């Protein structure tokens, strides 16, 4: 349930603010790819960035350590597409760093190599 | 790695997809092994441009929300494994494409009472050449069919493992994931 003062509405009424209102209706980010498991790291804490939207400051505050795009969307309770637009603006302004997984579309998606697979098996066995 | 500092250290993300029919226990499976309470991320689809919704008579309904559940397992300091439950409905294939991109592999969770429900998942991963195994959820403790019968019913390639599991049980789910990674490693050796 999105935050808001409209407590006479229950969650069945749906979000009070339309999801993409926060992006000014933009559905695609200005720059960037923003894979679900790309990591976001902020370069500033956001407290001084008064020109930003509250949602963008929230992103900066949450990403002093690397956070995946999927986790960020979930924690902020925003749709993925919305988060991607907000991240695009932040990236364009140099306020975040993105660490995208390495997919080379020309050779098809790269799957984890043997070293990683072995580490994953060992890690799972140790759980 | 040159840097010893933990800040600025970005781990590598590895994805495993958890697919299968609606209500088969995908979220239960993710919960059983995730180190965090399964999270949900949503994508909002507008009818415009997607071309999947028949909007006649439901003019008020302009958007559809698709939820994806996911969990996380920190393998070590450098690797984080994400488990993504795929959206159940076939009409959200385009979301699967993003999920499947670069994924280590997939678990197709099956319920023998409704085996048909996992056909679309099996087809999808076969078509995309994504390594997968079929995990039969025996949550009532009853195994009504053998792995061989299930493999035959699903017309699986002989190399595709079929394992039995209890999606509620951490150790059982762990074994399923290990079996998947081992299958991926074997497949790579054969291909090499």
Give the chain A residue whose CA is nearest to the CA of B130. Answer: A111
- The pair of structure tokens assigned to A76 is 């902020």
pTM listed for this prediction: 0.84
- pLDDT confidence of residue B92: 73
Does residue B58 surpass a pLDDT of 70? Answer: no
Query: What single-letter DSSP state applies at residue A47?
Result: T
Does residue A85 surpass a pLDDT of 60? Answer: yes
Backbone angles phi, psi at B43, to 5 degrees: -120, 135
Tell if the CB–CB gap between B188 and A114 is shorter than 8 Å.
Answer: yes
- pLDDT confidence of residue A18: 73
- pLDDT confidence of residue A3: 52
- pLDDT confidence of residue B39: 87
Tell if the CB–CB gap between B44 and A112 is shorter than 8 Å.
Answer: no
- Rounded CA separation A88/A108 (Å): 25
Q: CA of A52, closest CA in chain B: separation in Å?
A: 23
Q: CA of A92, closest CA in chain B: separation in Å?
A: 20
Give the chain B residue whose CA is nearest to the CA of A115. Answer: B185
B59 or A69, greater pLDDT: A69
Nearest to B76 among A37, A64, A119 (CB): A119
Residue with tokens 């690797």: B79
Mean pLDDT to the nearest integer, B54-78? 73
The b-or-e profile of B51-79 (16+ CB within 10 A means b, else e) is eebeeeeeeeeebbebebbbbbbebeeeb
- pLDDT confidence of residue A45: 86
- Rounded CA separation B81/B148 (Å): 30
ipTM: 0.84
Residues of B numbered 16-55 whose beta carbons fall under 8 angstroms of chain A's beta carbons: which are they? Answer: 33, 39-44, 46
Q: Cα angle at A91 between A89 and A97, to 5 degrees? A: 150
Give the number of other CB atoms < 10 A from CB of residue B181. Answer: 27
Give the tens place of pLDDT for each residue, A105-119.
554 456 788 899 999
Does residue B7 surpass a pLDDT of 60? Answer: no
* List of residues 6+ apart from B128 with CB closer than 8 A: B100
B105 or A31, greater pLDDT: B105
- The pair of structure tokens assigned to A32 is 């960037």
- Which of A89-98, B51-60, B102-111, B130-139 is least confident? B51-60
């Amino acid at each position: 349930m999105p935050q808001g003062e409209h407590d006479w509405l229950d969650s069945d009424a749906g979000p009070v603010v339309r999801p993409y209102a926060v992006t000014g209706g933009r559905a695609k980010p200005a720059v960037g790819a923003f894979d679900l498991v790309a990591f976001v790291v902020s370069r500033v804490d956001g407290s001084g960035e008064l020109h930003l939207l509250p949602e963008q400051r929230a992103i900066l505050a949450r990403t002093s350590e690397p956070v995946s795009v999927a986790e960020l969307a979930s924690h902020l309770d925003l749709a993925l597409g919305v988060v991607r637009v907000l991240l695009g603006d932040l990236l364009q302004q140099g306020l975040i760093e993105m660490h995208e997984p390495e997919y080379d579309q020309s050779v098809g998606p790269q799957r984890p190599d043997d070293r990683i697979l072995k580490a994953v098996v060992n890690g799972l066995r140790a759980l | 790695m040159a840097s010893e500092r933990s800040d600025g250290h970005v781990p590598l993300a590895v994805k495993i997809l958890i697919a299968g029919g609606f209500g088969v226990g995908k979220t239960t499976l993710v919960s059983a092994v995730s180190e965090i309470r399964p999270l949900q991320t949503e994508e909002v689809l507008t009818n415009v441009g997607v071309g999947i919704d028949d909007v006649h008579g439901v003019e008020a309904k302009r958007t559809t929300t698709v939820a994806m559940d996911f969990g996380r397992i920190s393998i070590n300091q450098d690797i984080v494994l994400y488990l993504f439950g795929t959206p159940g409905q076939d009409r959200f294939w385009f979301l699967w494409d993003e999920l499947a991109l670069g994924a280590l592999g997939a678990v197709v969770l099956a319920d023998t009472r409704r085996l048909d429900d996992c056909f679309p998942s099996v087809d999808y991963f076969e078509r995309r050449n994504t390594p997968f195994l079929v995990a039969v959820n025996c949550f009532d403790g009853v195994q009504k069919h053998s792995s061989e019968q299930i493999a035959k019913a699903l017309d699986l390639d002989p190399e595709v493992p079929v394992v039995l599991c209890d999606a509620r049980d951490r150790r059982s789910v762990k074994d399923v994931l290990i079996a998947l990674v081992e299958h991926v490693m074997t497949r790579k050796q054969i291909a090499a």
